[in-house]
Amino acid sequence: MPRPVPHAPARVADERRVRVSLGSRSYDIVIGEGLIDRAGEEIAARLPGIRAVIVTDETVARLHLTRLEIALAGAGIESTCVKLPAGETTKSFAHLERTVDAMLEARLERGDAVIALGGGVIGDLAGFASAIVKRGTNFVQVPTTLLAQVDSSVGGKTGINTPRGKNLVGAFHQPTLVLSDIALLDTLSPREFAAGYAEVVKYGLIDRPDFFEFLERNRPAIFAGGSERAEAIAMSCEAKAAVVAADEEEHASRALLNLGHTFGHALERAVGYDPARLVHGEGVAIGMALAHRFSAKLGLATRQDAGRVAAHLGAAGLPTEIAAIPGPALDRRALMEAIAQDKKVSRGRLTFILTHGIGQAFVARDVEPTDVERFLDEELAK
The C-alpha atoms of residue 55 and residue 45 are separated, in whole angstroms, by: 21
In DSSP terms, 158 is beta-bridged to 171
Q: Say whether 120 counts as a known binding-site residue.
A: yes
Residues 6+ apart with CB under 8 A from 18: 28, 29, 31, 234, 237, 238, 241
Write down the number of H helices and E strands in the chain. 14, 11
Catalytic residue ranges: 135, 157, 199, 240, 250, 254, 258, 261, 265, 280
Q: Say whether 121 counts as a known binding-site residue.
A: yes
The C-alpha atoms of residue 376 and residue 228 are separated, in whole angstroms, by: 37
Q: Say whether 41 counts as a known binding-site residue.
A: no
Query: Of 288, 77, 66, 275, which Cα lies nearest the Cα of 197?
Result: 288
Q: What angle do CA 174, 178, 183 make, to 5 degrees?
A: 155
Strand ranges, E, within the chain? 16-20, 27-32, 51-57, 78-84, 113-118, 138-143, 157-162, 165-172, 177-181, 350-355, 361-367
Q: Say whether 87 counts as a known binding-site residue.
A: no
For every residue of 166-219, DSSP letters joined together read EEEEEEE---SEEEEEGGGGGGS-HHHHHHHHHHHHHHHHHH-HHHHHHHHHHH
- Cα 181 from chain centroid? 16
Q: Say whether 176 counts as a known binding-site residue.
A: no
Amino acid sitting at position 97: E
Q: Say whether 243 counts as a known binding-site residue.
A: no
Q: Say whether 144 counts as a known binding-site residue.
A: yes
DSSP 3-state of 160 = strand
Q: Say whether 157 counts as a known binding-site residue.
A: yes
Q: Say whether 91 counts as a known binding-site residue.
A: no
What are the Cα distances from residue 66, in Å, to 52, 62, 73, 81? 15, 8, 11, 11
Query: Of 162, 152, 179, which Cα lies nearest the Cα of 67?
Result: 179
What are the Cα distances from residue 273, in Å, to 70, 162, 163, 322, 342? 34, 11, 10, 15, 16
The annotation places the binding site at 120-124, 144-145, 157, 166, 199, 261, 280
The annotation places the binding site for NAD(+) at 120-124, 144-145, 157, 166
